[in-house]
Structure 1
Amino acid sequence: MSDYQAFRVEQVDKIAHVQINRPDKINAMNADFWREIIEIFQWVDDTDAVRAVVLSGAGKHFSSGIDLTLLASVGAQLGKDVGRNATALRRKILELQASFNAVDNCRKPVLAAIQGYCIGGAIDLISACDMRYSTVDAQFSIKEIDMGMAADVGTLQRLPRIIGDGMMRELAYTGRSIDGHEAARIGLVNRTYEDQETLLDGVMDIAAQIAAKSPIAVRGTKEMIRYMRDHRVDDGLQYIATWNAAMLQSEDLRLAMAAHMTKQKPGFAD
C-alpha cells in the first residue's frame, strides 16, 4: 500500500482503517490531506477485499479542520482583479469539495470514530460518512462562522439530513461547541464511548459486522439510501425494482437463505 504524508492506512481483515496522521498538528487538513483522501477512497472503491471503512484521527483529537497555512497560501495567490480572484477561489473550493465527495460516493460504508476536537472542516468530513461515533468528551463545532465565512465543503448541504434543519442552523449560526452527549441526543453520532480505546474497538466491531454481510446487499442498500436523498419515493421504488431485478440473481441470496435456515454463518465472496 502506498505511503501517505497525512494518513496511515491499513487493512484489517475486510476493514480499511484510514487514520488522519498529523497528531502534532491536531490533524489539521493540509494540502497532502486533500489530495491523498481522494487516492485512498479510490483504492477502497477498487479493492473488493475491503467491505467497510473506519475513519479515525491519531492522537488526542480527530481533527481541528482545515490547516490555516493552506488558507494563507491560497490567499497569497490572489491578485487585484476581482473576477480572476473569484474564478481561482471557486476552482479551489470545488477541488476541496471533491475530496469529501470521494468519501460520500464511496460504495463501501464509512464509519467515523471521533475523539477530541472535530471542528470546521472536520464536520464537513464526518457529514460525508455513513455513520458517526464519538467519545463522550468529543467537541464538535461548525467553526467557519467565527472565521467570517460560510462553511463551503459540505456541512450546510449534508448535515440537515443528519440532525435536522433547525439544529443545523443553530450550530452554523452560533458556532457553539457541543460534546458527545449532545451530539448523540441530536443524532449527529449514533453512540458514545467513554474513551478513545473503547471507541475504536466498538466502531471496528460494528464495521466487522457490516463486513460479514453480503457485499452485494450492502452495496445495494447504500446506493438506495444515497439515491433517496435527492429523489421522490416513487422514483426510489422504481430504482430498487430495476436494481434488484439483477441483484436478486446473486449467489449471495441463496447462501444467505441457506445459512438462515441451517442457523449457520454464511461466507460471502468478495
Structure 2
Amino acid sequence: MYHSVICKTQPLGEALLRCAQQQLLKRNCSAASSVLSNFETLAIKVPKPFVYHVELNRPEKLNAMNNKMWMEIGKCFDELSQHPECRAIVLSAAGKLFCAGIDLNDMSSMGAEIGEHDDVARRCKVLDKKIKAYQDSISSLEKCCKPVIGAIHSACVGGAVDLITAADIRYCSKDAWFQVKEVDIGMAADVGTLQRLPRAIGSSSLARELAFTARKMQASEAKDCGFVSRVFDDKESLVNGAIEIAADIASKSPVAVQGTKLNMVYSADHTIQEGLDHIRFRNMTMLQSEDFLEAVMAQATKGDPPKFSKL
C-alpha cells in the first residue's frame, strides 16, 4: 500500500535520486559527532559501527555501585540517547562478576549527610533527593531511545537487578545468578526492581517470592521464567553474542528502531488503544522519512541493505 502511494505522489527514480543526494549531503556536511564525557566507573568501547559497549568498571570492588557509579550511569545513558553515532548499546561488566550491588562502604557518606540534620523533615528531604537521583539514573536505560542489551555474568545482586530490569533485552551466561537482596539489609528495593521485575517475568507470584526471600535465581530459572531470553556458555560468548545482536539492530533504520522502542515503552503503561494512537500519530510523520522509502525499495528489489543516515 505504501509503495503504491509513494509511486503515485512522485516518480520513483526522482525520489531515489533525491534521497541519495540528501544522504550524501548529510554525510559530507555534518558537524563533528558529539563527544561523550569521561567516566571513572564505566568503560565505553565501540566494537562495531554504531554499537556502544558500556562496561561497569570497578572490578576491584566487584563493580559495587557507589554514588559515583550511580550518577555516571544516568549521565552515560542520557548522553548515548542523544549521540548520533550510537544506535544500540550493550551493557556488561569487567571482572569476575557483573555487580555485587550497593557499595555498603560508600553508604556511610549518605549517613553522614543525613546526620547533619536533627529534624526528621530535613533528613527526609535529603533521602528523597538521593533516592530520586538513583531512580532517575536507573530509568535512564528505559528512557534511552536506543535499545539496551544487558549481558550478565556471575553475580547480579541488589541494585544490579534494578539496573538490568530497565534494559530492553537481557542475556546471561550459565554461571549467572540474580538476587533481589534488599530485604536482607533491612530495606525495600526502591529504584525499579519492584516495579519492573513483575513485568519482566510475567509472574507476580515469582517476583514477590524473590523480593520477599532474597533467594538466588540461577540462570536456568531466569531463562525458564523469561527474565533472560538467551543463556550463553561463558562470559566471552555472552558479550560477543550480545554485540552481534546489537550490530544487527544497528544495521536497521534508526528511525524505525527508536520509534519501536518508544512505542513499546509507552504502551507498557497505557491501554492498547492509547498505544495504537501513539504510534499512529508518530508514523504520520515517520512514514515520510527517507528511511522508509529506502528500506521498502531494498526489500522490493532484493538489493543490498540500505545505509541509513545518522539520527
TM-score (norm 2): 0.84
Bigger radius of gyration, 1 or 2?
2
User: 2: distance between equivalents of 1:145 and 1:62?
Assistant: 20
Q: Name the amino acid aligned to 2:221.
A: E
Q: Could you tell me which residue of structure 2 aligns to residue 241 of structure 1?
A: 280
Q: Could you tell me which residue of structure 2 aligns to residue 42 of structure 1?
A: 78
Report the Cα offset of residue 29 of structure 1: 0.8
Report the Cα offset of residue 39 of structure 1: 2.0
Question: Relative to structure 2, which stretch is displaced further, 121-130 or 232-241?
Answer: 232-241
Residue 97 (str. 1) matches residue 135 (str. 2): yes
Q: Could you tell me which residue of structure 2 aligns to residue 167 of structure 1?
A: 206
Report the Cα offset of residue 78 of structure 1: 2.3
Residue 88 (str. 1) matches residue 123 (str. 2): no
TM-score (norm 1): 0.97
Q: Could you tell me which residue of structure 2 aligns to residue 183 of structure 1?
A: 222
Q: Deviations over 1:110-156 (max 9, x none)?
A: 00000011000000000111011000110100000111110001000
State how 1:46-125 maps to structure 2 within 5 Å: 46-79=82-115, 80-125=118-163
Q: Deviations over 1:201-230 (max 9, x none)?
A: 110011011000000000110011011111
Q: Deviations over 1:175-199 (max 9, x none)?
A: 0001111111111111000100000
User: 2: distance between equivalents of 1:2 and 1:244?
Assistant: 33
Residue from 185, 193, 202 that aligns with 2:232: 193
Q: Could you tell me which residue of structure 2 aligns to residue 219 of structure 1?
A: 258
Report the Cα offset of residue 21 of structure 1: 0.5
Work out whether residues 75 and 137 of structure 2, in 8 Å CA contact, stay in contact via their aligned partners in 1: no
Unaligned stretches of 5+ residues in structure 2: 1-35
User: 2: distance between equivalents of 1:141 and 1:17?
Assistant: 24
For the residue of structure 1 that corresponds to 2:91, the secondary structure is strand
Q: Name the amino acid aligned to 1:102.
A: S
For the residue of structure 2 that corresponds to 1:228, the secondary structure is helix
User: 2: distance between equivalents of 1:67 and 1:213?
Assistant: 38
Residue 268 (str. 1) matches residue 308 (str. 2): yes
Work out whether residues 179 and 216 of structure 2, in 8 Å CA contact, stay in contact via their aligned partners in 1: yes
Q: Name the amino acid aligned to 2:306.
A: P
User: 1: distance between equivalents of 2:46 and 2:254?
Assistant: 16
Unaligned stretches of 5+ residues in structure 1: none
Report the Cα offset of residue 77 of structure 1: 2.3
Report the Cα offset of residue 267 of structure 1: 1.5
Count of residues in Structure 1 that have an aligned counterpart in Structure 2: 270
Q: Could you tell me which residue of structure 1 aligns to residue 57 of structure 2?
A: 21
For the residue of structure 1 that corresponds to 2:105, the secondary structure is helix
Q: Deviations over 1:64-98 (max 9, x none)?
A: 11111222221222233222212211111111111
RMSD: 1.1
Q: Name the amino acid aligned to 1:121.
A: G
User: 2: distance between equivalents of 1:100 and 1:192?
Assistant: 24
Q: Name the amino acid aligned to 2:53.
A: H
Q: Could you tell me which residue of structure 1 aligns to residue 25 of structure 2?
A: none
Q: Could you tell me which residue of structure 1 aligns to residue 38 of structure 2?
A: 3
Report the Cα offset of residue 269 of structure 1: 1.1
Report the Cα offset of residue 49 of structure 1: 1.4
Report the Cα offset of residue 105 of structure 1: 0.4
Question: Relative to structure 2, which stretch is displaced further, 200-209 or 252-261?
Answer: 252-261
Report the Cα offset of residue 262 of structure 1: 2.3
Work out whether residues 81 and 145 of structure 2, in 8 Å CA contact, stay in contact via their aligned partners in 1: yes
User: 1: distance between equivalents of 2:289 and 2:85?
Assistant: 18
Q: Name the amino acid aligned to 1:133.
A: Y
Residue 149 (str. 1) matches residue 187 (str. 2): yes
Q: Name the amino acid aligned to 2:163.
A: L
For the residue of structure 2 that corresponds to 1:197, the secondary structure is helix
Report the Cα offset of residue 43 of structure 1: 1.9
Residue 210 (str. 1) matches residue 249 (str. 2): yes
Q: Name the amino acid aligned to 2:289.
A: S
Question: Relative to structure 2, which stretch is displaced further, 49-58 or 158-167?
Answer: 158-167
